[in-house]
Amino acid sequence: MRPRTAWQSMTQHPLRFLTSGWPWRSLAYLASGVVVGATAVAVFVTGLTAGLVLLIVVIGVAPLVGVVLSSVTIATVERRRLRLVDLDAMPNPHRDPEGPGVRAWVSTRLTEQVTWRELLFTLISMAALWWIDLLVLCFALGLPALTFVTADGTTWPWAVFGGVVLLASPYTVTAWAGARGALARTFLAPRDEELGKSLQEVHASRVRLIDSFDAERVRIERDLHDGAQQRLVSLGMMLGLMRLDIPGGSPLLAQITAVEEELSAAHKELRSLTRGLNPPVLADHGLVSAVQDHAGRFPIPVTVDLRLPGRLPRQLESNVYYLINEAMTNIARHSGAKSAKVHGRYHSDLLVLEITDDGRGGADSSAGSGLTGLADRLTALEGRMRVSSPVGGPTLLHVEIPCHFV
């Protein structure tokens, strides 16, 4: 997996990291942090001084408001700089002004929590972060340069020490850059309540979509049971009555027998299909029994080790069952596995599932392996998943779903 942050690159590939661009990106991040921090100090000191001096008149308020709002600009610069050490972009957490004009913009920004959080981050950056950036750069690069310049016959141990520091500088610089970037993301990333109604509606629409799929699944099962299955039963009875009217030894008896066998096979397949769409055992006996029943009819051996303290809410229980069902279907279709295992436990308001197989591995959501559908269903359930699937196997699907038992 391609590293998304400087920290990931350094920890996943410590040696390959040295030949990558991450040390240089981290160096640029800290160097630009010194420039931004020093500029912020100058702006804040100037604005605060002007505001305090002019506070005796009304215009003194304007510089103080400008000092607060300048943190919005500094935070915007920080979000863009963060891409040097963290490739995941941060959306803009600010909402649109409630009206046109500068006054509406200022009023909106001053009433947002994110503005004051950005101000706090700016103050921390001015008071400490950019100073630490400068100290790290001086230690990692300035100290070795100083020891090399002043080295002579009596100070060669310091030159050796400087060389060691210089060799370790990619890790030193990247370690602090990663820590600084994580701190910046903590302050500047949008909170859930700041994502806006549009993203909340996207999540709600996804939940409604999955619920509608499940409702449609139930409707199809009911229609098949009440319609197609009943017609097949009626057709079997008609063939039985026809058999009574045919004289013994007639060649039609063999044909009717063949038709009855095909009809029976079709009836069994349809019954199996409807059982998978909306299994009665799920409603009657719960998730554990339903998964065990499905595993018993699975084309490869599946070990089920699922222990739960009670029954989940009906809708969540149905979603979890179909999630496990879909994961097992992916195993049968894509993995080439000879066996699989479903393991589940409940820990601290989390349902933790682990679905493993001994197949060929190499599962990739971008290749259409079925993981995308699982991810969509989990997102609607506010769950998360991790996949470990090295080439050659085995594959592990780790799922966590927040829930409460009834």
- In this prediction, residue 26 carries a pLDDT of 93
CB atoms near residue 77 (< 10 Å):
14
Instruction: Let me know if 379 is exposed, middle or buried by CB neighbors in 10 A (0-12, 13-18, 19+).
Output: middle
CA distance 149 to 143: 10
Backbone angles phi, psi at 248, to 5 degrees: -60, 145
**CATH T-level topology, domain 285-402:** Heat Shock Protein 90 (3.30.565)
How is the chain split into domains, by residue range?
Answer: 6-194, 198-277, 285-402
CA distance 252 to 342: 50
CA distance 314 to 117: 41
pTM check: above 0.75: no
- In this prediction, residue 198 carries a pLDDT of 47
Closest Cα to residue 129, out of 38, 193, 44, 261? Answer: 38
Mean pLDDT per block of 10 residues along the chain (406 residues) reads: 78 84 92 91 83 66 78 89 87 79 83 87 90 92 83 74 87 92 86 53 54 59 60 70 72 73 67 59 81 84 88 81 85 84 86 88 66 75 82 86 76
- In this prediction, residue 13 carries a pLDDT of 80
- In this prediction, residue 67 carries a pLDDT of 80
Mode of pairing for the β-strands spanning 340-347 and 302-306: parallel
